[in-house]
Structure 1
């Protein structure tokens, strides 16, 4: 049950909320909003009230009955219309069932990409969630502050950007995955290897491209700037980037694509140009979503364990809900190459 603070005394007969409001120079309803985690408070006002609460020693009432185990958590995903989210949901569902938890799933519309809309945190308070899993999210500074103030445990699954110090997150070994994908193509004999990356600011995309560069350097090859293209993790953008690569004076013989969805756009563009995969050009994806097995030919890709990442995130969240804090704030699960039919040695020019 969510208990609403009143203007009476705090727990153990401490200062009243009215005293806190007077100290902070705000109204009692405004002070109550801060105590109860309402989001519709200006950051500066929230800061003054929080400082007054701490300075006066106001003890907030517990939001939950500590004698009862937590029963409800929130899972916040970027959408429900992708196989990526399906894999995350599967991992959370199994782990939550084993732990006897109920899960509320929120697919958020956003005023800007990857940032949950205002007001969602108010609803989290209203339904009494014990903790939150964020998937592919980027929180604002005020949202991090809200979660900390409310002492709401949360874990980030594959965060968009590097979280602030102390925030617990789970992800895949993206750098190693980029190395593995590129080394596979090098081992087949490719030297003209392009990469179609995700957004530059995305942490996972940067790590995959860094792995690609590292593998080339280890092979004594300098990355060619014209072979590095941003695809924004979007199938249609990757489709355009592929046509750009094919129009180069010396097009690549292989492409490392930093997501399976983008790889679908790559393969479509190649087919439009009358090129055959892998006879004319090899393609490696990243994720190992179901789509990777449905393409013709089936896609060689780097598997990141999405369901396992989600389950790991939930188990970490359970520990935090029990008052523990993980020793390390970043957990990385290993990736591995899944070889299928979209890669082969480069085609030899006629007469060689």
Structure 2
């Protein structure tokens, strides 16, 4: 069988603007469209020299074959989690899987490295497209603008749940009414007579954390109370972070009588710091969480929380993603589901001192 020789040498040409086609690659390589098609489809009747030249051009042009660009209404969703698979992530995953089952889509669960994919953005997006993913759902990850651009170039829709950052305003996200939740938690503590109320927050730049903090500040302002700078602290959304923040707050000369935790895990860490100091919850210190994970109901005492509909957030994210994959127009880029206060045993009247 005759093999077509390569007619180009040296470095591949730079990709032109616009989406490349087989004809674009063939013209750059100096070979026929049929030869490029053989390379793309893995045929063996192409010389090694020609194959190497064409593959180099395919990479340079960032070419995605049509089979890798398909976005069926229900195939496989890539779900990426930032951090450990804790109670919060587990409930989100449960909702994502349930949402996929409802429409016949499979879900592949993976982890982000330091909040981001571990490979270069374009290579990462190409791998997902080649694997037949219909889109990507990320929970609390920090995708860069380059990662978002790469997914867009690969025609893979993206939905972010509880985003830490949004590199573009048009990135589709699913969350809850974080501002209202922060305000409601603080108002609950105010109604119990507390005035020295602190905020134990997650990363200062996190969008959901900022919204909860603003809600806390708004409730304090409405009550005519100033917020002390030393009463607002930030760290990661982790148990150890909450314990550190709790130690700092409770070591103050005039410590708070109540703490609004930006998530359940942080609030549990604050509870541990109080226990180590010999303080009783809620007799000496009232604490609220945010999420209503399973941990909140089994803590000692059971924790008062702002409940996020975590499973429903996962389901909505998958349904939204598949609508985007099918080419449907969305009414809004940002979906917020309602939060609600769940009162348990970790909050009580301000202690008499």
TM-score (norm 2): 0.82
> In the alignment, what sits opposite 2:27?
19
Q: Is the 8 A contact 1:132 1:155 kept in 2?
A: yes
Residue pair 1:195, 1:209 contacting (<8 A) in 2 also:
yes
State the partner residue of 2:218: 214
**Do residues 321 (structure 1) and 325 (structure 2) align?**
yes
Deviations 1:87-107, CA, capped at 9 Å, x for gaps:
111101111111011111112
What's the offset of the Cα at 1:82? 0.8
Change (3 A) 1:18 1:174: same
After the TM superposition, list the runs of 4 or more consecutive aligned residues in structure 1 that deviate by more than 4 angstroms.
34-38
| 1:152 Cα deviation after fit | 1.1
Structure with larger Rg: 2
Cα distance change of structure 1 residues 161 and 263 upon mapping to structure 2, 3 Å threshold: same
CA positional deviation for 1:34:
5.3
Query: What value does the CA root-mean-square deviation take over the aligned residues?
Result: 2.3
Please point out which of 35, 58, 73 is paired with 1:32. 58
The answer to whether the aligner puts 1:179 opposite 2:205 as a matched pair is no
> Number of paired residues?
310
SS at match of 1:131: strand
Q: Say whether the 8 Å CA contact 1:115–1:137 is kept in structure 2.
A: yes
Partner SS state of residue 57, structure 2: helix
Choose 115-124 or 201-210, whichever is displaced more.
115-124
Q: Give the whole-Å Cα distance in 1 for the aligned partners of 2:185 and 2:287.
A: 10
Q: Determine which of 245, 248, 261 is the counterpart of 1:257.
A: 261
Q: Which of these residues, 342, 347, 351, is aligned with residue 343 of structure 1?
A: 347
Q: Which residue of 2 aligns with 1:233?
A: 237
Report if aligned partners of 1:71, 1:102 keep a CA contact under 8 Å in 2: yes
User: Which TM-score applies when normalising by structure 1?
Assistant: 0.82
User: How many angstroms apart in 1 are the aligned matches of 2:202 and 2:86?
Assistant: 17
**Residues 65-76 of structure 1 aligned to structure 2 (within 5 Å):** 69-76=73-80
2:49 paired residue number: none
Structure 2: segments with no counterpart, 5+ residues: 1-6, 8-18, 31-52
Checking the alignment, whether the CA contact within 8 Å between 1:37 and 1:146 is kept in structure 2 is no
Counterparts in 2 of 1:231 and 1:142: CA distance versus 1, 3 Å: closer
* Counterpart among 146, 164, 169 of residue 168 in structure 2: 164
